Structure 1
Amino acid sequence: MTSFDPARLQASTVCLPPGQWATVLDCLCDHFKAIDRSQWVDRFARGRVLSADGQAISANHPYKRGLRLHYFREVPNERVIPVQEAILHVDEHLVVADKPHFLPVTPGGEYVEQTLLRRLIHRLDNPHLVPLHRIDRHTAGLVLFSANPESRSAYQRLFPERRIDKRYQAIAAPLEQHVFPLVHRSRLEHAEPFFRMHEVQGPTNSETHARVLEKNGEQWRYELSPITGKTHQLRVHMAALGAGISNDPFYPSLLEGQDDYQRPLKLLAQSLRFDDPLTGQTRHFETQLRLDW
């Protein structure tokens, strides 16, 4: 008999936290406050909430601290994102893809199927794909995925141990007041709204190296190398230097409105270079995308 594999079914997993709830339904409603109770009731009714061994459970199943459950994330009427990813490399251990602007890497909020991860899982028929790093939804370019759970930890260590060289390109206004190449360090923390970051006083936790690649009148093309990997680091650092990246809806000021596919953020994950932890050979990947002026 085949054991239950939540990854194969693309099921999410949760272990119930401590509390005084009477039922699993009550716990899930309180734990996932953004999901309406009626949606959870519907998921239970359709067998979309499972026990640890993959059996559907009822909404009145008794609550138990630490109970392991699997459930299926759903977004009613999920909006199609009209962009197309490209697969650049596939082997036993790694997948490298070019992510277009506006496509999220992983499920979250209003996107589940319209994400790079889900699209690649379907295209490659590999439910074990896991992104080894993230680039935000507005950024385009290279994303590296682990394709094999057995070798995953070796590749995951490349990032916290800073054994991978990441290069980005950005287009922004001229920064004639600065001398390039330069290094910008600061402390980044979450701001309001919750998805934005800002610089604050305190010990630095972020570092970016920048140089100018090309000058074109009122716009310059920059190469940015993040030494650390804080959320929105390059976008915040460029804004702090005095030249927010072109078409950035978050920095320096938050712009309201729908995505404008004709005005993508001018930020591109250009290249990845590292020594393969399994073979010792140098691996180098370059995006096939290009930032137009």
Structure 2
Amino acid sequence: MFQGRKVSKTYECLAPCRPTTRPRYGTVERLDPPAVFPLRRRSHITKLRGVLQAFEEPQAVNAETVIDLAAGGYPSMGGRLCHGRNGLRAYELYPLTGKTHQLRVHMNSIGLPIHGDDFYPRIVERAYDDFSTPLELVARSLRFTDPVSGEPREFISRIPLGW
């Protein structure tokens, strides 16, 4: 079902409020111009065996993610474009493909590395028992039609992000 793209997945993450870089490869498409979000990020992601980080390269697209602001919008408070703890805000991620580290690579490539990510933008070595800065990425929901019964199925995680 995953391979046939018959499963709809939604993730939520904490990342910086504003993008800081432009991707080297692939495309970024605004889905509701002139608004920045939602956007569609498309690129070619390669993950080599034995190498911790995946990377993007200039080849045919094999990874696609829709990135949006999480529920609650993008408040403009007194002219500030960013509101959130430690300059972070919540994003919703909708992967249309399933490459290794896809969400982490796509967020990092647009200058929004996921808070607590030990791999992107660079590898951070921590003690094996250091859980002080967890990866702020949650699989929020999984939806599909049951292949046996034909019934719609939805599973929702209520685990909060580190707000």
Matched, 1:246 2:115: yes
Give every structure 1 segment of 4 or more consecutive aligned residues whose post-TM-superposition deviation is greater than 4 Å: none
Larger helix share, 1 or 2 = 1
Structure 2 counterpart of 1:207: 64
Matched, 1:216 2:73: no
Larger strand share, 1 or 2 = 2
CA RMSD of superposed structures (Å): 1.8
Structure 1 counterpart of 2:45: 188
Calculate percent identity across the aligned residue pairs.
Answer: 39
Matched AA of 1:232: H
- Structure 2 residue aligned with 1:255, among 97, 119, 124? 124
Query: Number of aligned pairs?
Result: 136
Shift of 1:175: 2.5
Shift of 1:210: 0.8
CA offset digits 1:7-28 (Å, max 9, x no partner): xxxxxxxxxxxxxxxxxxxxxx
Q: Which has the higher contact order (CA 8 A, sep 6+)?
A: 2
Structure 1 counterpart of 2:4: 161
The higher radius of gyration belongs to 1
Change in 2 beyond 3 A, CA 1:163/1:221: same
Shift of 1:256: 1.6
Matched AA of 1:286: I
Report the TM-score, using the length of structure 1 for normalisation. 0.44
Structure 2 counterpart of 1:59: none
Shift of 1:193: 6.0
Return 5+ residue gaps in structure 1 as ranges: 1-157
Report the TM-score, using the length of structure 2 for normalisation. 0.78
Shift of 1:174: 1.2
Structure 1 counterpart of 2:160: 290
Shift of 1:202: 0.7
Structure 2 counterpart of 1:232: 101
CA contact (8 A) 2:19 2:112 kept: no
Cα separation, 2, equivalents of 1:167 and 1:185 = 17
